[in-house]
Structure 1
């Protein structure tokens, strides 16, 4: 059986010769399609199938493992056994954390250790069947006879456990978390579980996994109350009978029921990043009753409103399911982090309160999501974008590090490079989202120009970048990618500076945003490591990741020379000129998609989904298929985008070719299936690709309707013969955000043969760096 990577290493422009599936009549109105929440739960998608609300604080989901990269989200589809159900999860990340407060429904003797995946019977793990998931609800039958159901509000998780007749118990495992190779220092700093006088069980734990020192608080209530509770401290030491509290690091509590099967056991749990009072207040505000089914219905209704924002007709049933699932995944993060009273833990370690009607968020995977996830929300959910932008501004001002990088529950992890928190701000400003951008500017300016010992890994070499025009490869690791990504952040920051009247800073940043040139060797047409003396790395091999054998001396960030060559998003015409003009650039793009799909032994698993050397499973060059439009060959974009939509996404657990990265991979699919993509979000335009469906209805702006039509669109018609906008011919291979948000009808005439004339003229090519070649 061919591997997926081998299958995708074929020619760049060819279209899979699949038979056209029966299609719906074009006149039929688009309708909602149910998502498949198991897409991405196998392979390297790293998603989870449990219950959450759009951008909710609680992600209540089953956990199957904590020790392998495959289980970054806590769940892997083929593991075969479930540890229990925890309240917080990361969607699609390549690093694991969270999994706070595991609840394990059990029967028979109390077992405090999980056992192994190979032999679940050696611990409290359970094999399972009848697993079902839908937005806001999860169901599974465990082999111990217990049926588990989960649903949520924004800040509370709801469990319903139906036991067989007889004794049973619930284990609360506060020691459960994503493991790493060392427990020194301990991954859990301190923890508490306590039964309060009203029977509410409260607690906290401080975790040092990825977001070092984050603290989660909880308050849970049960109906019916357990007959008794036993506590276990570190090393599973049972506490004296009648204990009401236990402290330590790896704590557990067992809630005993003499007749667990008499009625379903309901558990509702509120969480907070502030304190126990916040968790209790969240629980009190969002759990005023014990009606599990009503909570489930409310959760489903919230999701229906989101999934109705994009409805399609045509394509295959699987493609419609993939679209609905992608839309679902694109609404899981960032996650709510403020309590019902508006309090949240800021990046400065202090408790703050958002203004009335505002919200604070966590789980900003900004190196990934600035590219498509945030632009998608700006298009279809501008009110949410406004809330996120206000929060980004507040947290940027509060953080000692300035613009956000990868914050998780009040802690800046500093993961990846650059300070891409500026990009959603610049993008939103360019697209008309009103906010106090000036409030973030002092922190952005410090990050851009001042170099202090507090710098995180993501901004190493900024002083050299500023002085020399690039980060030298003999001084800092990932130097080529750093130079290019710092340049893009300068581009975004220059827009913010211009908008608030900081003209001199804007000019300095705009000039510095051209530093990408200094790590692109125009003589060979590749991104290439450069040393302090100005010389290039030789002998050069674009397949390799760096000039040193040790992985921490990689010269690229999750990429190699091929992929980094096309990293530039904001000055495409400058890049084209630097590499010798249209013909040479087009040939280089062809070579990217046709090169052998080989990688060095030290390549990270993130580089996946190869078509030639293009890696769709990772972010650095996900805009590259759209670059053909800038040299007047958008028909090649159309062919490649259609191919990627049909080969890189499947309606099965292994259905996402790489980490979903908090919705970025999913947002790429939503945009591309609609027929356009934001190559540079700050430019505020979309480059046309190849729509996947016959008709899409998209809610944009303030409730306006964008209709995308492609009548007769089939698997063998990937090419755009012509375009009309609101009934008038449209010659350009792009369209502005300002046009789309007014609503209207974008109509594509599709063909089985390319139309090289469409978008060929200089005046019809997309703008970049504020200019077009015409």
Structure 2
């Protein structure tokens, strides 16, 4: 994640100042939703869908995709513009000028790359087998598309009549939740995409006469920048009848060895088929191919000028599963009905939070962010309940449950999952019991970053423990916590896992024995805190006491002389040389994960008051926080691009820093939290392609905005408490489940008025700078009065500060 170009990296400091039935019913439902007035102060007019800009994050280093999907959908049908660059890890980047084709799976905002399964590209004339690259040369099968940027006041007039003010970024390329379209200028083909939960539908309108075909590239995927070929094995393609192509493949990419199957049907018969292996045509008449590098050209009669419709179901189980998903979710060819159903579902889910704000810019940023929080985790189970587990075996789910994938847990435990416990509470049992299922089935134990049945072991710690412990502490049922306990206890107490043996023996991980040792020590300490809560809740008091004590191991990498977290050797000595802006002690190893000593020094989320004593007290800790935000923002030349969104040495563009502005609340200087949070809300996010301060990371970057704009943040999710920030919205209505509504409203809010003057909860004064989840989840009204000068008395009393370590 690299700092946004327009954000001043040299800024040294901030001056404190339901369900639908038929497709027809779904279409009617979305139209009614768009017309429905707000219930008590939400967005009036034609619904909230109009505020979502799916192109946010597709430029800069956001790594998002603009294509069609459903909330938490298994299919993400989206264009691929390039597949061999870091900023194209979603397959798409706003700066590219050509489209390689449309594939059915994509990652939202990750720094690592995979997916891009089953590429389909409509074309005309001779079959071309090489994709080419973004520097379109007119020879390969990529096509230019009109990516001319429109003005901010432009409107898309074609996607639905009656919707006013919809903002599109490109002439010829337009999209909104559940729908994407682009004009492929090479052959004058209009491509349109929509999706159900497990299937995608394409509609291709050909503007020219001539020989037309679809190229299906089963070798396509995220490629190494050098060889530009995805590592695929065990691929197969078969034509069934004259209108159905099925197949599957195994991909050795980030999630090494994952398998995916598909079933594709066309709305008109295939006039001829050519299969290719290693880019060589198989004998005429071949209808089946197996190998590692397969493609198919499906030719069809272009005498009819009717659009060609293509529908594709996917499965992680087998081809039969892909076919059942396709037939079960797309029995007909009603593209517009499926699109309307997708719009209806997105409108329904987005409307779970209705807001009023002082500008359309805030509304667009908020709802674009809320949209991104529903792109992961993703369903990874078939319509019949079968799924491929982490043990590579096929399992069956209990009726009514879903299996999920794409858990970016190092990121999302911080704000994404706490947010879901508020406005997606009905999904939490499926999402968290899914983590338990993954843990029990996985040979590697506690999940870290699972993707399509494969543990990627990406990032440090094992923060699935935090998500499980948070749900347990918040009282969610339908989750087998007892089944989870042995797996997480084994990781905490026994596993020889990335330095944990040293951690248990020495109380820290030595940097001369293990990479990223300081960060690992700190994150294992927080995981200990989470597992201790699990132990307490299940009656394992002795384990809980041990883990709580061990969660203070952060002390063992804190240097009281420099007041920094520092690398130590196995013999206990502080390693030299030491520079707080450096990433590693030497070229031989790295001491920190995507951070330096400045940022690592404030990673403590659960034991803040005891931690302050190491600095000499709360005033010294507050001064150190001030120094973080006011330091010279210079980074060493070898700093990874993930250290981004710099304010002093504070790196907002990477997730470990997300709680840090809220730490002032623990010192009694809550007004500084208010000022910092408001500044970040107003400067780090914009509703445009380069509108994110760093990678989106499966919803976490957006969840920070959603939570903070409502005035809330979970510094320690396991505690179940939310610390107040500086609410940006004038009003928010959050459906917290079972008919209950949380209303958050502000008075005297606006630009230059970030400071909380007073708070009431259900009409009664609330002097604390925090509030428990149980209060909010019960429903009620949280009201803030804002001002342009700090009320330093608010949250200052010790009794009003957030609890920490109990």
Task: Report the TM-score when normalising by structure 1.
Answer: 0.95
C-alpha deviation, 1:26, in angstroms? 13
94, 102, 105: which one aligns with 2:111: 94
Paired residue for 2:513? 475
C-alpha distance after superposition, 1:424-459 (max 9, x if no partner): 10000111101220101111111111135xxxxxx3
452, 455, 477: which one aligns with 1:409: 452
C-alpha deviation, 1:501, in angstroms? 1.2
724, 740, 746: which one aligns with 1:710: 746
Kept in 2: contact 1:120–1:126 (CA 8 A):
no
Residues 1:750 and 2:786 are matched in the alignment: yes
C-alpha distance after superposition, 1:392-441 (max 9, x if no partner): 11111111121110011100000001111111100001111012201011
Paired residue for 2:155? none
Structure 2 CA distance for aligned equivalents of residues 27 and 202 of structure 1: 50
Q: How many pairs were matched up?
A: 752
Residues 1:195 and 2:197 are matched in the alignment: no
Paired residue for 2:600? 564
Paired residue for 1:277? 320
Kept in 2: contact 1:30–1:697 (CA 8 A):
no
C-alpha deviation, 1:5, in angstroms? 4.5
Kept in 1: contact 2:90–2:106 (CA 8 A):
yes
C-alpha distance after superposition, 1:315-334 (max 9, x if no partner): 32111101001100000101
Change (3 A) 1:198 1:241: closer
Residues 1:11 and 2:13 are matched in the alignment: yes
C-alpha deviation, 1:187, in angstroms? 0.9
Paired residue for 1:308? 351
749-758 vs 517-526, which moves further:
517-526
> Secondary structure of the residue that 1:122 maps to in structure 2?
coil
Change (3 A) 1:718 1:185: closer
69, 73, 76: which one aligns with 1:56: 73
463, 475, 492: which one aligns with 1:420: 463
Structure 1 CA distance for aligned equivalents of residues 373 and 592 of structure 2: 27
Residues 1:258 and 2:271 are matched in the alignment: no
C-alpha distance after superposition, 1:347-400 (max 9, x if no partner): 111111111111111110000001110110011111111111111111111111
Kept in 1: contact 2:732–2:745 (CA 8 A):
yes
30, 54, 77: which one aligns with 1:37: 54
Paired residue for 1:139? 181
Paired residue for 2:126? 109
Paired residue for 1:589? 625
Structure 2 CA distance for aligned equivalents of residues 161 and 495 of structure 1: 54
Kept in 1: contact 2:581–2:635 (CA 8 A):
yes
> Secondary structure of the residue that 1:194 maps to in structure 2?
strand
Kept in 2: contact 1:173–1:251 (CA 8 A):
yes
Alignment of 1:436-585 (within 5 A): 436-452=480-496, 459-550=497-588, 553-585=589-621
Paired residue for 2:706? 670
C-alpha distance after superposition, 1:494-553 (max 9, x if no partner): 111111112221122111111111111122211111111111123321100111124xx1
734-743 vs 394-403, which moves further:
394-403
91, 95, 100: which one aligns with 1:78: 95
Alignment of 1:192-271 (within 5 A): 192-197=236-241, 199-234=243-278, 236-259=279-302, 262-271=305-314
> Secondary structure of the residue that 2:281 maps to in structure 1?
coil
206, 216, 233: which one aligns with 1:163: 206
C-alpha deviation, 1:601, in angstroms? 1.1
> Secondary structure of the residue that 1:4 maps to in structure 2?
coil
Paired residue for 1:21? none
Change (3 A) 1:29 1:546: closer
Structure 2 CA distance for aligned equivalents of residues 71 and 687 of structure 1: 35
692, 696, 717: which one aligns with 1:660: 696
Alignment of 1:576-655 (within 5 A): 576-655=612-691
C-alpha deviation, 1:575, in angstroms? 1.3
Paired residue for 1:737? 773
> Secondary structure of the residue that 2:8 maps to in structure 1?
helix
C-alpha distance after superposition, 1:136-166 (max 9, x if no partner): 1101111021000000010001100011233
Paired residue for 1:684? 720
Unaligned runs of 5+ in 1: 16-24, 453-458
> Secondary structure of the residue that 1:686 maps to in structure 2?
strand
Structure 2 CA distance for aligned equivalents of residues 146 and 197 of structure 1: 26
Paired residue for 2:152? none
Structure 2 CA distance for aligned equivalents of residues 556 and 10 of structure 1: 23
Kept in 2: contact 1:213–1:411 (CA 8 A):
yes
Change (3 A) 1:703 1:247: same
> Secondary structure of the residue that 1:416 maps to in structure 2?
coil
333, 336, 341: which one aligns with 1:290: 333
Kept in 2: contact 1:30–1:695 (CA 8 A):
no
Kept in 2: contact 1:13–1:636 (CA 8 A):
no
Kept in 1: contact 2:646–2:653 (CA 8 A):
yes
Kept in 1: contact 2:401–2:430 (CA 8 A):
yes
C-alpha deviation, 1:109, in angstroms? 1.7
Task: Report the TM-score when normalising by structure 2.
Answer: 0.91
Change (3 A) 1:3 1:297: closer
Residues 1:365 and 2:418 are matched in the alignment: no
Change (3 A) 1:185 1:133: closer
Kept in 2: contact 1:166–1:258 (CA 8 A):
no
Change (3 A) 1:3 1:14: farther
C-alpha distance after superposition, 1:474-506 (max 9, x if no partner): 110100000010111111011111111122211
Structure 2 CA distance for aligned equivalents of residues 415 and 276 of structure 1: 29
Structure 2 CA distance for aligned equivalents of residues 184 and 382 of structure 1: 42
Paired residue for 1:455? none
C-alpha deviation, 1:119, in angstroms? 2.7
C-alpha deviation, 1:299, in angstroms? 0.7
Change (3 A) 1:352 1:182: farther
Unaligned runs of 5+ in 2: 18-37, 147-171
Structure 2 CA distance for aligned equivalents of residues 297 and 311 of structure 1: 21
Kept in 1: contact 2:406–2:451 (CA 8 A):
yes
> Secondary structure of the residue that 1:301 maps to in structure 2?
helix
C-alpha deviation, 1:8, in angstroms? 6.2
Structure 2 CA distance for aligned equivalents of residues 8 and 222 of structure 1: 55
C-alpha distance after superposition, 1:121-149 (max 9, x if no partner): 13111111211111111011110210000
> Secondary structure of the residue that 2:180 maps to in structure 1?
strand
Structure 2 CA distance for aligned equivalents of residues 705 and 45 of structure 1: 32
